[in-house]
Chains A and B, each alone.
Chain A
Amino acid sequence: MYRETQIIEADNKADGDDLVINVGPQHPATHGVLHLVIRLQGETIQKVEPHLGYIHRSIEKMCESLSYRQFIYVTSRMDYLSAHINNHACAMCVEKALQLEVPPRARVIRVLMDELTRIASHELWWGAMAMDLGAFTPFFYAFRERETINDIMEETCGARLTMNYMVPGGVMYDLHPNFQQRVKNFIQLFNNKIDEYDDLVTGNIIFQNRTKGVGVLTKEDAISFGCTGPVGRASGVSCDIRKLYPYEVYDKVSFDEIIEMGGDSFSRYLVRIKELRQSIRIIEQLIDNIPEGDIQAKTKAVLKLPKGEFYSRAETARGELGVYIVSEGGTTPYRIKFRSPGFSNLSALDHISRGSKIGDLMAIMGTLDLVIPDIDR
């Protein structure tokens, strides 16, 4: 028995006949090694307590001994589903410190890659969430399209998951000649597929009953818990970093920040599905307008950041990613803090799942879109 369970069971004695179960660290619904200790009264959840650390690699400590070029590669392993955006945020932080001007071509490529990553991430989320609710088929549908994106990524960056494509000052390689055509093909294919997703899952009466009114997070709580990304926006909080603090070319493309007011699992679902269409919109505007030119700004081989503190924010598929670098003027960071969206979103789990059934917990966890390496950095 886990030590943590004993703690809860000890304070349980007073409450009488509650049942304590461990969900995870190996469990089909936790998508990784998240460990939840749940106190149940019958089927009703009294308390959810997350226990972290099963895959904590201490990336923040590791980065303290890596140079400003090297540490970016480690961040691909944080939120592995939006590796590009993690790399991007780190690169931006270093650029901010060095006051580097990124060439226009690199800016557009970065945004294109970010949005493709966002689509791929939401795809995986869509399949996995449907699987949490007991529908297996969507998972395979989602992976069919995600595969296309992964192929595009592989052709351009040489990797399918941990891309390591963004470097301080630009991107590592130029685009593959096939890139534009393949992305256009993908967009054409994908527009129909989103409708298919709606037919299969969104309109399903069982799915709607399972998610509507489940795990309601009010606007005030969402802000207080620091929930960002689709979770925050489903509660009516305007928190899209791409709109609020535009970086790269996000201020030059038109797209909508999706905001739903429901705050329940279904709203969180809708936000992500609608974001898929917005990402497509951004890609459509940029894919034919990639400027010619350099893909990297001229930088020194060894980067030295001036003394000071630098913070950059980027919108990953899960929410606001913050990179906080404290520099002492050397070649390695003195301290790095990653403000990961999943960590804050997870902290709201206990609050919103109290009083609901075990089945609801899976729906809530599914729509919070937790990626455990992002929480356990």
Chain B
Amino acid sequence: MFSLEHITNSIQQWLYSTFSPTMALILECAIVMLLVIGLFATLGLVLVLMERKVAARMQIRLGPNRVGPKGILQTTADTLKLMMKEGLTPNGADKFLFNLAPFIVMIAAMLILAPIAFAKGFQIWDINIGVLYVSAVSSVSVIGILMAGWASNNKYSLLGAMRSGAQIVSYELSAGLSIISIVVLSGSLQISEIVASQQTGWWLFRGHIPAIISFVIFIIAVTAETNRAPFDLAEAESELTAGFHTEYSGMKFALLFLAEYINIFIVCAIGATLFLGGWMPLHIGNWEGFNHTMDYVPSSVWFMGKTFFLIFLIMWFRWTFPRLRIDQLLSLEWKYLLPISMFNLLLITLIAIMGWHF
């Protein structure tokens, strides 16, 4: 059976048998770095293409269909174009911060990738406070956005960045509380253990209605955190032209754009890990035959399938809903989502303590 775990293990064995331990560690780091960058590039291309195709499908049109077979090379061509373009820095901008901002956003996105379990035994860093690490690092990107907005010397950018700051900081709370509810159920902060705790069934199904509520809140909160419609106020193009990245062009724009899609991937991966069992196959109670068949599907496919399902969900929102207004956005969080998720956490704690979950 295809398994990424065997490949990584054999590579590691070969490295340690050929080189000294320090050298092997360095080589491992280099390989991981290359893989992450490769994953970033591919994910960027795939997700942008997927977005355009999904959008086209919802809008009764074809989408990209000229470059390459069925247009799959369109995003590659776009990336090439963005690389060739001149990276302008506007007059009066704070040059240092302006150029730094895309990298901060990008680095924050890269860092969160570390504890994510892509398949069984295929994880860069199985840190014991994985979930905490993710929520901590994901807040760093807001600094990059604020920096981009402030340094651009553009009023639209400034407004967009301020909106984004208010939005991300608020919705972090709900997202955090939803994550905590799963931590309470599984009793661990470590990603691998959270996945392992879902061996008998996904938390979404095992945690009764409170788990479903926290899943819904999680999806809403992460949509807001990644600045996606209907919460895309930071770049609301009909109000602020392009919000915080109005003044960016060329590769610096591409980095911000890429980071947005990587962030979507990451939050969906976290969602899939916490609520949909990560790489765990779908198991239903005592259906031995069914469960056995499901085990034959490689764990990486399970993980990617779940993640892309959630990504599709978020894209679906984007192409269906109008945008909220800033005060509605904040009152939704502070007046509705936060109290609900707090109460929900209480229920989940009760369920976990009494052992009422399946």
Chain A contact residues, CB within 8 Å of chain B: 19-21, 27-29, 43, 130-137, 139-141, 144, 200-201, 204, 206-207, 209-210, 357-362
Contacts and interface: CB of A to CB of B under 8 A. Distances in A.
Given A43-B159, A140-B61, A362-B239, A134 B326 contact: no
Given A43-B159, A134-B230, A136-B55, A27 B322 contact: no
The 6 A-B pairs at the shortest CB distance, nearest first, are namely: A134-B323, A133-B322, A140-B59, A29-B238, A135-B322, A359-B325
Contact of A137 (B58, B159, B324, B326): B58
Contacts of B58: 137
Given A43-B159, A209-B328, 13 more contacts: A20-B155, A27-B241, A134-B229, A134-B230, A134-B236, A134-B238, A134-B322, A141-B60, A210-B323, A210-B325, A357-B326, A359-B236, A359-B239
A143 B272 CA distance: 37
Nearest to A135: B322
B59 A137 contact: yes
A19 B157 CA distance: 13
Nearest to B329: A359
B78 interface: no
Interface string B12-37: 00000000000000000000000000
A236 to B, nearest CB: 26
24 contacts: A19-B159, A21-B155, A21-B159, A28-B237, A28-B238, A28-B241, A132-B238, A133-B238, A133-B322, A134-B238, A134-B323, A135-B320, A135-B321, A135-B323, A136-B55, A140-B60, A200-B320, A209-B324, A210-B322, A210-B324, A357-B325, A359-B324, A359-B325, A359-B326
A28 B242 CA distance: 10
A43 B324 CA distance: 14
B257 interface: no
Nearest to A132: B238
A118 B229 CA distance: 31
A19 B60 contact: no
Contact of B155 (A19, A29, A135, A136): A19
B156 interface: yes
A207 B66 CA distance: 35
Contacts of A134: 229-230, 232, 236, 238, 321-323
A135 B323 CA distance: 7
B59 A358 contact: no
Nearest to A211: B322
Nearest to A26: B241
A360 B325 contact: yes
Contacts of A358: 159, 239-240
Contacts of A209: 324-325, 328
Nearest to A205: B321
B327 interface: yes
B253 interface: no
B324 A206 contact: yes
Contacts of A207: 322
B239 A29 contact: yes
B312 interface: no
Interface string B233-268: 100111111000000000000000000000000000
